[in-house]
Amino acid sequence: MADKQNVFEELLRLKENSYSPYSNFKVACLIYLSNGEKIKGVNIENAAYPATICAERSALAQAYSLGYKKSDIKSLELYTDSETLGSPCGVCRQVISELVDWSATISIYNKNGFQLETNIKELLPHAFEPAQLIK
């Protein structure tokens, strides 16, 4: 994977693909895979807000659509267009908890650059797990 400054610069370019006419809040996500490939995602808003797709889910849906699985995902790099620390929303945290290995690194950036390295266990310590549905 590239160094944090190169990732930050790529996220800054990627955020320009965001479709965010309602909030003007651009979010970009890069998923680094174990084979060296990367998947890109941005937020896509809709006037019907529940139809909005967050950058994390955009990238994850693309990764799975291309045939990648949880074990292929090495890290998730997230940029939020803010001055303060941003982080995945609750829905994204739940989706990440199911589709990304819990040991994968999640790095968070904002307008000021790299801010935090974490993982889904830290972001969502009591995730709802599919095993809870099986009786």
Q: pLDDT (tens digit, 9 = 90+) per residue, 52-76?
A: 999 999 999 999 999 999 999 999 9
What does the pLDDT read at residue 12?
A: 98
Per the model's pLDDT, the better-predicted residue between 134 and 75 turns out to be 75
What does the pLDDT read at residue 126?
A: 85
Choose among 81, 114, 108, 116: nearest CA to 92: 108
What does the pLDDT read at residue 128?
A: 80
User: Catalytic residues, which ones?
Assistant: 56
Alpha helix stretches (DSSP H) within 39-103: 55-65, 90-99
Whether 133 contacts 33, CB under 8 Å: no
Question: What's the whole-model pTM score?
Answer: 0.92
Classify strands 105-110 and 113-118 as parallel, antiparallel or unpaired: antiparallel
> Residues annotated as binding site for Zn(2+)?
54, 89, 92
pLDDT bin (cut points 50, 70, 90) of residue 1 is low
- Would you say residue 134 has pLDDT above 90? no
> Residues annotated as binding site?
43-49, 54, 89, 92
Whether 56 contacts 104, CB under 8 Å: no
Q: Which fold has domain 4-132?
A: Cytidine Deaminase; domain 2 (3.40.140)
Rounded Cα distance, 39 and 52, in Å = 19
What does the pLDDT read at residue 6?
A: 96
- Would you say residue 135 has pLDDT above 60? no
